[in-house]
Amino acid sequence: MPVDTEYIEQLVLEEITGVISPEDSITLKKLLEQEPEAYAIWQRMHRELTGAYVQSVRKSLQDELPVEQVFAIARRRKRRKVFIGTSLGIAASLLVGSVVYKIMLPVHEPVQPAPISMFALNSVALQLPDGQLLHLGSRQQQKVNGIIFREEDGKLSWSGGNSSDMARLMVPPGKDYAVHLPDGTDVLLNAATTLQMPLAFDDNREVTVDGEAYFTVAKDEEKPFRVHLPKSTVQVLGTSFNVNTYDSGQVKVALESGAVKLLTNDGDVSLKPGLAVHYQPGVRPTAAAFDTRAVLAWKSGYYVFENTPISVIGDVIARTYRVKVVIDSKATAEKTYSSRLEKGAPLKQFLERLKTLNNIDYQFKNGDTILHLSNRP
């Protein structure tokens, strides 16, 4: 749905300056959750309102201005393509006085673009290095900045890219998506996963994953492929493997073919096919055999649970069905369940099975957006 850009900018400016009303704050929050374009505007303004341009703007502003006058200046700058553009204008914090707001200059620090919340996306999206957001899934060819992006057989590829600057491919909850990288490597991304990658590889082949992804790496002995994970890196030549970082305290790497090495501050470990490593920072990583059927089932459209805690199942439900899962007690969270969850099946079908076989009650609130799970004695 198209958004009113000027209205969003006004709300974000009021939020940044601290004068947004409770009602408008709720409106802005809903827009950010439901409209990727709104979130992109929010991200750009927050990034650039704390950038280096602050210093030059500060010189042109009085120390104290009525808030209406601040907004008027902002709008004039926007019309001159100064406020929203390559040099976005006012960076100020307004302290509420009686009728006057004092502009306080923040300490300048470089700010990196904030990642877009997965729940703010309704479709797969590609954020280009310059901040532009491309919505994917339409299977239509798109041309941006001389780069032609194609979607064929459910897989993204492109030609014409010559920048090693990082783009960000974002797969929201309830989706999965495939991408063909410039070197010939194929990546399948699971729900709620982000892949940071260059649009063109130079002397290095390096990407970053947050979530879960399966790699089939094109072999190039002169240029090892590296996948950066939290506090660790997977180094490969040509191979097929799975990485999982959903648990913020643990990195999981499972090798199906070829050979990889996990590099960490606590030691390195080499994997052979059929072996996996679960790495926790502060603990030396070790390899062990893994159940291919359970670990890689998500690629085939389902999840396998074998004595899996409800807390873990709740996370899978949240990623698969775009709902917030609330577990009422530690006892419920620690209870285990063995079954499988089909990605395309209705959620209530799985919950009824969970209720019947494992005495786990469920209740939806706020429409179908919040799911409560509780243990029935």
Q: Note the pLDDT of residue 146.
A: 87
Which residues does residue 125 pair with via DSSP β-bridges, in sequence order?
135, 170
Q: How far does CA 277 lie from the centroid of its chain? A: 24
Which residues does residue 347 pair with via DSSP β-bridges, in sequence order?
none
Report percent pLDDT > 90 for the chain.
Answer: 50
Cα pseudo-dihedral 227, 131, 136, 155, rounded to 10:
-30
Whether pLDDT at 19 is above 50: yes
Whether pLDDT at 239 is above 80: yes
What six digits make up the tokens of 202?
């130079």
Enumerate long-range contacts of 219-225, CB under 8 Å, 24 or more apart.
220/183, 223/183, 225/183, 225/185
User: What ranges in 85-161 are assigned the alpha helix state H?
Assistant: none
Whether pLDDT at 80 is above 90: no
Q: Is 63 helix (H, G, I), strand (E, B) or coil?
A: coil
Which residues does residue 336 pair with via DSSP β-bridges, in sequence order?
309
Q: How far does CA 114 lie from the centroid of its chain? A: 10
Alpha carbons 301 and 310: distance in angstroms, whole number: 20
Report percent pLDDT > 70 for the chain.
Answer: 77
Task: Tell me the average pLDDT across 66-85.
Answer: 42
Alpha carbons 91 and 163: distance in angstroms, whole number: 30
CA distances from 78 to 6, 61, 66, 88, 142 (A): 10, 16, 19, 8, 28
pLDDT tier at 189, thresholds 50, 70, 90: very high
Task: Tell me the average pLDDT across 238-264.
Answer: 94
Whether pLDDT at 82 is above 60: no
Q: Note the pLDDT of residue 154.
A: 81
Read off φ and ψ for residue 244, nearest 5 degrees: -145, 120
Task: Tell me the average pLDDT across 13-37.
Answer: 73
Which distant-in-sequence residues (6+ apart) come within 8 Å of 149 by Cβ?
Answer: 126, 134, 136, 141, 142, 143, 156, 157, 158
Alpha carbons 181 and 187: distance in angstroms, whole number: 8
Number of H helices, E strands in the chain: 9, 27
Average pLDDT, the chain: 79
Largest distance between two CA atoms of the chain: 69
pLDDT in tens, 105-153: 333 333 344 455 555 677 899 999 888 888 898 778 889 888 999 998 8
Q: Note the pLDDT of residue 3.
A: 60
User: Could you tell me the domains of the chain?
Assistant: 5-104 (no CATH), 122-294 (2.60.120.1440), 301-375 (3.55.50.30)
pLDDT tier at 161, thresholds 50, 70, 90: confident
Alpha carbons 44 and 213: distance in angstroms, whole number: 28
In 3D space, the residue among 299, 279, 277 whose CA is nearest the CA of residue 287 turns out to be 277
Task: Tell me the average pLDDT across 339-365.
Answer: 93
Whether pLDDT at 59 is above 50: no
Q: Note the pLDDT of residue 2.
A: 56
Whether pLDDT at 165 is above 90: no
Whether pLDDT at 308 is above 90: yes
Whether pLDDT at 350 is above 70: yes
Q: How far does CA 376 lie from the centroid of its chain? A: 35
Higher-scoring residue by pLDDT: 131, 361: 361
Which distant-in-sequence residues (6+ apart) come within 8 Å of 355 by Cβ?
Answer: 361, 362, 376
User: What ranges in the chain are assigned the alpha helix state H?
Assistant: 5-17, 22-34, 36-48, 53-60, 67-79, 292-295, 310-321, 330-334, 347-358
pLDDT tier at 353, thresholds 50, 70, 90: very high
